[in-house]
A and B are shown apart, each in its own frame.
Chain A
Amino acid sequence: MSLPASALLAASHLPTPHVAFAAFSPLIAFLGGAVVVLMVGLIGARSVREHVVPLLTIVVLGAAIGLTIWQWNDQLSVVSGALRIDRLSLTLNLVLATGGIAAVLLAWRSQAGHEAAHGELHALLLSSLGGMSLLTAAQNTVVLFIGLELLSIPLYVMCATEMKREHSLESGLKYLIVGSVGSATLLYGLALIYGATGATEFAAIGKAIGTKGLGGDAMLLGGMALALAGFCFKASVAPFHQWTPDVYEGAPTPITAFMAVATKVAALGALLRFFDVALIEASGSWAPALATLATITIIVGNVGALSQSSLKRMLAYSSVAQAGYMLAGIVVTSSLGVRALVFYLVVYLFMNLAAFAVIVARERETGLGDSMQSIAGLGRQRPWLAWPLTLSMLGLAGIPATAGFIGKFYLIQAAVSGQYTWLGVVIVIGSMISLAYYLPVIATMWMRDAPDAQERQGASQQGAASAGTLPAIAGGSQELDAAAAGAGPIGAPPAQAKLTGTQIEVVLVAVLAGAATLFFGIVPQPLFDLVAHAGRGLGLF
């Protein structure tokens, strides 16, 4: 005979904590959705796997957005103070779910879905989103770590979902190793902080630092440094960014898009909450260090992106640089900084989604992979793809009339107001360097002709032939690699890449993201309203 658990609890008169399930219902949606999607993915019918599963995932994400909006005005700690539901976590939830929907659309007809079962891929995506949502709401170090792992482990697998392509596997393995080192470093740092302060709750840590005057405590400083390093691995902040270009390049492009957007949002959101809430009292010791890291990141990212011929590697370095800009919002420890950071995260989402959607589309159309060549002459051939990518590049470079300009303006204003004028100058110097790689992308699209059939043949044969033998050739194409590997042993005549026509959902993502980049550059007020109270819940400024 078995009793239900609740009956057991009731019988033993244990006090049950009151849990406000409604407040973290978006999180429940993510994780519950993952289970449902996984189950549906087991249904045998091909059409169910290929179309119902992604559709269901989008429904789940839509539900998460709806639940987030339902809880919009919440400001409370739930589950015994483990999670903090406030405007910051809710806003980031919206951003994450939007990024998730875009990733599902981009992956809809991708190779990755075919090779790894659809259900599993989408369940992984949802549980990773759950981890991100947990991470941005984490209010104590234990939940923080759980969130981080829940975010990372599905991502390791997702990177390797194109199982027949060596690059994808390599990327997954690399990410696993580097990511584990990062997690371990973070964990060690959290342990040291616990040792110094005797607390795991953020608020208690902050209080302990304040009352005990631990600003210069060696154990705390060591803990902070290690925790910072761990976060920096996740947010790809230099000098912990080396994995980024390889993993971004090797992973299936829709997954790269998801990583670039969502992981960055989650990692920076957690970094913000951890440093600006838990460690705010010690800001005198970490703020200069973080500012220095931001400077290094901006320079390294922008210089690294300069001579890349693979668009994904270029965007990987650019995302490193963008993370550097966004650190400025954390360094200044002001509510203006928080707003500027969250604003930039939203803008960053749109700009990157537009770029990655175009890369996905061109990979499938040309068979040239993500090389610069694949977008040559795009302006004439495919204006609906060329315009979003143009706007995305202009936005990332911070040109007016795009949301990127306003975002950068906001960040620099936060930096200058927070007595970090020099960091504002560094951001601008980074933007200058970045022009040298964003503008050539635009030039390639509008001012060069598309490679003719012969060239393309040559390029794709080269790509296919080298894919199996040489590791990490820039611009090696995904679908091509897969086709070549599928064709048999190395040395067999390279198979033609499986090319598909223009896919409407990919173009849709590109156009919507590009339009948002332009729209919020001219009418930014809705975004300002969205982030207006992002700093309110932190309650420390």
Chain B
Amino acid sequence: MPALSVLIWLPAACGLVGALLGALSSNRRNEHAIPAALALLGSIATLGLSIGYIVEYSPSFQAKNLITQSLQHVTDVSWIPALGIHYKLGIDGLNVLLVGLTALVFAVAMLASNLRREPGPAPRPRLYYLFFMLAESAVLGAFLAQDLALFVAFFDLMLIPFYFLTGMWGRGEREQRVKATIKLVIYTLVGSLLMLTAAIATGVLASQQHGTHINFALSSLQTLPLSKGSQEWIFIFFAAAFLVKMPAFPLQGWMPDGYRAMPIEVLMVFSGVLSKVGAYGFLAIVLPLFPQAAVHFQMLMLLIALISIIYGSALAFTQTDARLIAGYSSVAQLGFITLGIFSFTGQGAEGALLQMVNHGLVVAPIFFIILLLSRRAGGSEDIRDMGGIAFKAPVLATLFLVVALATLAMPGSANFVGEFLILLGVFNAKLPIAIIAFAGVAAASVYALRLFIRSMHNRVGEGVKSSDIALRDGLVLAPLVGAILFLALYPQSALQRSERSTAAATAEARLLTAKTTASASTESAQSAHLVASGGSK
């Protein structure tokens, strides 16, 4: 396989070349066609590459130190020596599947943009595809970065294309849309900027407390644990950034306006992929680097997750805007994922990771289906204006049903496996939380089926002109539904890749919890770490 840099920068390069060629062509049709085709090709090539990495990834990789040595395809170049920042990329069990998810959802979104019928080709197509491709590069970079500063840079960077994509090609009144966009970006960047200070402090304090040269590589930061006090405030800053991104309960204020303003293709990516970066950050950065703080704040995080589940589900019951139903259901789903991560159990984290992939795979098609539904319901995305669409659209109904059943974690779906593992993990860690979280599982079936029944069945809505799914729309949905079915049949293919890495990521926090419950005495960071690394050997 080629180096990971190829994977990351291929989309951006395609976007740039497309924009330049488009600008050079005098023909007006080419100006649209060239960037669009190049973006599609680039994203499909990226998908091909990422599938290659997934297939090639060998989970049975044996090494002394699981966390630092299990990285594959490592690229490590010193980027800014003066600041100790490395351009370090690597694939491990935590990000390999998420990279695949990213590439898939982006490729599908590009396909959807290419095949878009109305209202004609997007205005200013060169910029549209350029920003879309830059976004893909930034997201892939965030997943693959193995250097804390690099991660933060990509994490901040990926928002900027979405600022333009939503503001320039979004829906609704211009002023409102621009406002929603600015709100969205400020909300999410505020979290990221806090994280910037926290990341710098992590590097500086680690080097000061251990007297080493400053270095932001995750693997070396892991060997230099911070004091408990530093860990705690740094944890809060990181958690703020990740919780905004997901979004989780008290920090979801940007979501409704932002989701309403985004074009569907952008929303598929934003909800399907970007929200996972936050959850991934907890798993890949917060737990390994700040285990003591994670244990300290475990209960708080579990409660936030629990409230997110209940709050998200409750609002998903009551909303009538289909986008917001899907949006709030995501809040609930990400609550589950957080729950799994902060159970500090191997199963919980493994389930959370699987669920990240699953959620991306179901929420992207749901948003696309909402687009299809609104076309059939006279442009409205309100479920009260829909109804009876299934009668003349059996194929669409079937596809939707598959997605809806996956959303509610029907036994037999990979979502079932994911939620089961999460709950199993929480069950072992905190019994009362697990019992309440079970209610969330039931709630999921209510809002998923409500969306399905109100739009597809019921009395035929007034403005509804139903027709079956067109081939071009089917082409968009097929890869996503195919991936859902594949994971439903072979969840083991995902689990065996992530098992070791998730176990390793939670190992230290798990040991610390066991220790605090066994003996109430507090251990110093140093000795806890020694035990942890000894345990992983």
CB distance from B251 to the nearest CB of A (A): 14
Q: Which residues from B are CB-within-8-Å of A440?
A: 178, 182
Residue in B80, B152, B168 whose beta carbon sits within 8 Å of that of A447 in the complex: B168
Please give me the residue from chain B that is nearest to A427 by CB atom: B197
Stretch touching chain A among B183-191, B280-288, B400-408: B183-191
Q: Are A428 and B154 in contact (CB under 8 A)?
A: no
Give the contact-size bracket for chain B. Answer: 35 or more
Q: Which residues from A are CB-within-8-Å of B127?
A: 379
Q: Are B197 and A380 in contact (CB under 8 A)?
A: no
CB distance from A311 to the nearest CB of B (A): 17
Q: Are B194 and A428 in contact (CB under 8 A)?
A: yes
CB distance from A297 to the nearest CB of B (A): 18
Q: Are B200 and A394 in contact (CB under 8 A)?
A: no
Q: Residue-by-residue, is B59-86 near A (CB-CB < 8 Å gives 1, otherwise 0)?
A: 0000000000000000000001111000
Residue in B156, B186, B193, B208 whose beta carbon sits within 8 Å of that of A417 in the complex: B208
Q: Which residues from B are CB-within-8-Å of A194?
A: none
Give Cα A379 to B83, complex, Å. Answer: 35
Q: Which residues from A are CB-within-8-Å of B124?
A: 380
A409 within 8 A of B: yes
Q: Are B163 and A439 in contact (CB under 8 A)?
A: yes
B460 within 8 A of A: no
Q: Residue-by-residue, is A372-393 near B (CB-CB < 8 Å gives 1, otherwise 0)?
A: 0000000110000000000000
Please give me the residue from chain A that is nearest to B191 by CB atom: A432
A400 within 8 A of B: yes
CB distance from B102 to the nearest CB of A (A): 18
Q: Are A400 and B156 in contact (CB under 8 A)?
A: yes
A416 within 8 A of B: yes
Q: Which residues from B are CB-within-8-Å of A439?
A: 163, 182, 185-186
Q: Which residues from A are CB-within-8-Å of B81?
A: 525, 528
Interface residues of B in 149-169 (CB under 8 A from A): 149, 152-154, 156-157, 160, 163-164, 167-168
Give Cα A225 to B526, complex, Å. Answer: 45
Q: Which residues from B are CB-within-8-Å of A379?
A: 127
Q: Are A425 and B197 in contact (CB under 8 A)?
A: yes
B370 within 8 A of A: no
A173 within 8 A of B: no
B501 within 8 A of A: no
Please give me the residue from chain B that is nearest to A449 by CB atom: B174
Known: A424-B197, A448-B178, A524-B80. A435 touches B167 (CB 8 A): no
Give Cα A417 to B80, complex, Å. Answer: 17
Please give me the residue from chain A that is nearest to B84 by CB atom: A413
Give Cα A439 to B193, complex, Å. Answer: 15
Give Cα A436 to B181, complex, Å. Answer: 11
Please give me the residue from chain B that is nearest to A417 by CB atom: B204
Q: Are A528 and B80 in contact (CB under 8 A)?
A: yes
Q: Are A443 and B82 in contact (CB under 8 A)?
A: no
Q: Are A400 and B153 in contact (CB under 8 A)?
A: yes
A169 within 8 A of B: no
Please give me the residue from chain B that is nearest to A410 by CB atom: B83
Q: Which residues from B are CB-within-8-Å of A448?
A: 174, 178
Give Cα A400 to B80, complex, Å. Answer: 14
Q: Which residues from A are CB-within-8-Å of B177?
A: 447
Q: Which residues from B are CB-within-8-Å of A405?
A: 153, 156
Q: Which residues from B are CB-within-8-Å of A443?
A: 167, 178, 181-182
Q: Are B186 and A435 in contact (CB under 8 A)?
A: yes
Q: Which residues from B are CB-within-8-Å of A401?
A: 153, 157
Q: Which residues from B are CB-within-8-Å of A435?
A: 185-186, 189-190
Q: A-B pairs with CB below 8 Å: how many?
A: 94
Please give me the residue from chain A that is nearest to B163 by CB atom: A439
Q: Are A416 and B200 in contact (CB under 8 A)?
A: yes
Please give me the residue from chain B that is nearest to A339 by CB atom: B82
Count chain B CB atoms within 10 A of each CB in A406, A425, A432, A443 and give the residue with the most. A443
Give Cα A405 to B205, complex, Å. Answer: 20
A412 within 8 A of B: yes
Q: Which residues from A are CB-within-8-Å of B214?
A: 413
A398 within 8 A of B: yes
Q: Are A413 and B200 in contact (CB under 8 A)?
A: yes
Q: Are A446 and B168 in contact (CB under 8 A)?
A: yes
Residue in A399, A428, A447 whose beta carbon sits within 8 Å of that of B167 in the complex: A447
B201 within 8 A of A: yes
A421 within 8 A of B: yes
Q: Which residues from A are CB-within-8-Å of B80?
A: 406, 524-525, 528
CB distance from A412 to the nearest CB of B (A): 5
Q: Residue-by-residue, is A401-425 near B (CB-CB < 8 Å gives 1, otherwise 0)?
A: 1000110111011001100010011
Interface residues of B in 24-79 (CB under 8 A from A): none
Give Cα A398 to B82, complex, Å. Answer: 19
CB distance from A442 to the nearest CB of B (A): 8
Known: A446-B164, A532-B82. A436 touches B186 (CB 8 A): yes
Known: A398-B193, A400-B153, A416-B204. A447 touches B178 (CB 8 A): yes
Q: Which residues from A are CB-within-8-Å of B149?
A: 409
CB distance from A534 to the nearest CB of B (A): 12
Q: Which residues from B are CB-within-8-Å of A442?
A: 163
Q: Residue-by-residue, is B192-218 near A (CB-CB < 8 Å gives 1, otherwise 0)?
A: 011011001101110010000010000
Count chain A CB atoms within 10 A of each CB in B178, B181, B186, B204 and give the residue with the most. B204
Q: Which residues from B are CB-within-8-Å of A427?
A: 197
Q: Are A446 and B167 in contact (CB under 8 A)?
A: yes
Q: Are B197 and A432 in contact (CB under 8 A)?
A: no
Q: Are A428 and B197 in contact (CB under 8 A)?
A: yes
Give Cα A481 to B181, complex, Å. Answer: 36
Please give me the residue from chain A that is nearest to B203 by CB atom: A413
CB distance from A518 to the nearest CB of B (A): 12
CB distance from B267 to the nearest CB of A (A): 18
Contacts from A to B (Cβ < 8 Å): 339, 379-380, 394, 398-401, 405-406, 408-410, 412-413, 416-417, 421, 424-425, 427-428, 431-432, 435-436, 439-440, 442-443, 446-448, 524-525, 528, 532
In the assembled complex, 9 residue pairs joining A and B whose CB atoms fall closer than 8 Å, in A order, are: A400-B153, A412-B200, A416-B204, A425-B194, A443-B178, A446-B164, A447-B178, A447-B181, A532-B82
Given contacts A431-B193, A436-B182, A532-B82, 4 further A-B pairs with CB under 8 A are: A379-B127, A416-B197, A421-B197, A432-B193
